[in-house]
Amino acid sequence: MSRKILILVLVTLTMFACVKKEANPEGTVTVETRFFPVPEFVDLFASFDYVQRADFDRVIPDRYMSDITNVYIATFYLGNLTADAIVATKARNKTKLSSIALTMIDYSRMIGINQEVLMLADELMLMLQEDNWDGLLHALDDYKRQVEMALYSSRQFDLMTLLQAGGWTEGIYIMTSLLLQDFIEPNTAILDQKGIVDNLVNNLKQMENQELYELEWFENLAAGFNEIHAIINVPDKNLFTLDEVRDLNNISSNIKEKFGFVN
């Protein structure tokens, strides 16, 4: 992990620590903590600046789902789209990015993101019309951050967990897909995101809506991140073999497929 990304992780871990206190029947207080790491995809994907535009374009879908009615699945998918949007921008694919941005706005409305945040979408669409690609990269990350902060401030911690799990499922899928196009082991250091994966595994175990644990898609999501954790969170390991990168790609792809999302 680069020094810049590490600093971003440390800062945002401090910002997004959720503590909930509840009194149990014996009168003692239990404390539940969920951490929400939010490093920027712009900085993360910058490590792939050697990748050609066509290769970026190849790792994101050609079409996007607009018929999701379950708010939890929609939030997870919105997380997916935040990663896809950055890659579509790096690919300079105006058609895909337009579709992604409009879908992001629709699902942001669906999960109850406030109008102030949604106004940022107007800025995104204006930059897209003007082909302001550099501005779009940072505006997209800012939009993602503002959506997360809106969920955090309204204490919708389950949705925030799913948003970030969706983003990192797609982030891992994209990173491993790019690495597999031209495997060079030193480049796999980008996958060394131990703190992020550890916190996501922890957060998925602390969902307030207990009914989620009975759903097949959620069981598969939690199990998938446990598998990802077993590969990435090995002490003193910061590079990954070709087989490990393939395994991470297959796990993240399987998570998406269980949701019915296309690769």
* C-beta separation of 83 from 143 below 8 A: no
Task: Taking the CA atoms of 12, 13, 14 and 16 in sequence, report the sign of the dihedral they define.
Answer: positive
Task: Taking the CA atoms of 185, 187, 193 and 197 in sequence, report the sign of the dihedral they define.
Answer: negative
Helix (H, G, I), strand (E, B) or coil at 33: strand
Q: How do residues 116-167 score in pLDDT, each as one tens digit?
A: 777 777 788 889 889 899 899 888 888 888 888 899 889 999 999 999 999 9
Query: What is the reported pTM?
Result: 0.87
Least confident of 36-40, 96-100, 182-186, 247-251: 36-40
Query: Domains of the chain: which residue ranges?
Result: 39-259
Which residue in the block uniquely carries the two structure tokens 């505006």? Answer: 139
Predicted pLDDT of residue 20 = 52
Q: How do residues 17-58 score in pLDDT, each as one tens digit?
A: 554 544 445 554 444 577 776 667 777 788 888 899 999 999
Task: Taking the CA atoms of 91, 97, 99 and 104 in sequence, report the sign of the dihedral they define.
Answer: positive
Predicted pLDDT of residue 260 = 81
Predicted pLDDT of residue 18 = 52
Helix (H, G, I), strand (E, B) or coil at 246: helix
Spatial separation of the C-alpha atoms in residues 260 and 256, rounded to whole Å:
6
Q: How do residues 44-94 score in pLDDT, each as one tens digit?
A: 788 888 899 999 999 999 889 888 999 999 999 999 999 999 999 999 999
Predicted pLDDT of residue 63 = 87
Spatial separation of the C-alpha atoms in residues 53 and 169, rounded to whole Å:
22
Question: How many CB atoms within 10 Å of residue 185?
Answer: 12
Which residue in the block uniquely carries the two structure tokens 């446990």? Answer: 226
* C-beta separation of 237 from 177 below 8 A: no
